């Protein structure tokens, strides 16, 4: 089914906040939500934390090179 809303979360070394950001997006009511997390070559556990969410709810893209916030958002689109 097609989502009503897509959240693209560009993340860089966000292990302290990424779970809260994803959970906040998933808690939206009355809409079908899709979450795309783009890890911008973090050096911490951001990718592992994001991948702990069910893949049918959260897609995780791990970039090979750091592209900065705009580049990460563009990769998510």
Could you read off the pLDDT of 19-45 as tens digits, one per residue?
999 999 999 999 999 999 999 999 999
Place of tokens 């969410």: 53
- pLDDT of 3 above 90: yes
> What average pLDDT score do residues 51-55 get?
97
- pLDDT of 48 above 90: yes
Which of 10, 7, 9 shows the shortest CA–CA distance to 66? 10
The sign of the torsion formed by the CA atoms of 39, 72, 65, 59 equals: positive
Lateral strand order in the sheet of 33-39: 5-11, 33-39, 58-62
Please give the model's pTM, rounded to 2 decimal places.
0.94
Quick one: what percent of the chain has pLDDT higher than 70? 100
Torsions phi, psi for 24 (to 5 deg): -60, -45
Longest dimension (CA), the chain: 37
């Amino acid at each position: 089914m097609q989502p009503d809303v897509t959240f693209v979360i560009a993340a860089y070394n966000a292990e302290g906040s990424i779970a809260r950001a994803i959970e906040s997006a998933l808690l939206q009511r009355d809409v079908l939500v899709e979450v795309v997390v783009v890890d911008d070559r973090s050096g911490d556990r951001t990718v592992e934390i994001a991948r702990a969410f069910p893949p049918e709810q959260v897609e995780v893209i791990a970039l090979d090179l750091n592209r900065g916030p705009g580049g990460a958002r563009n990769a998510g689109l």
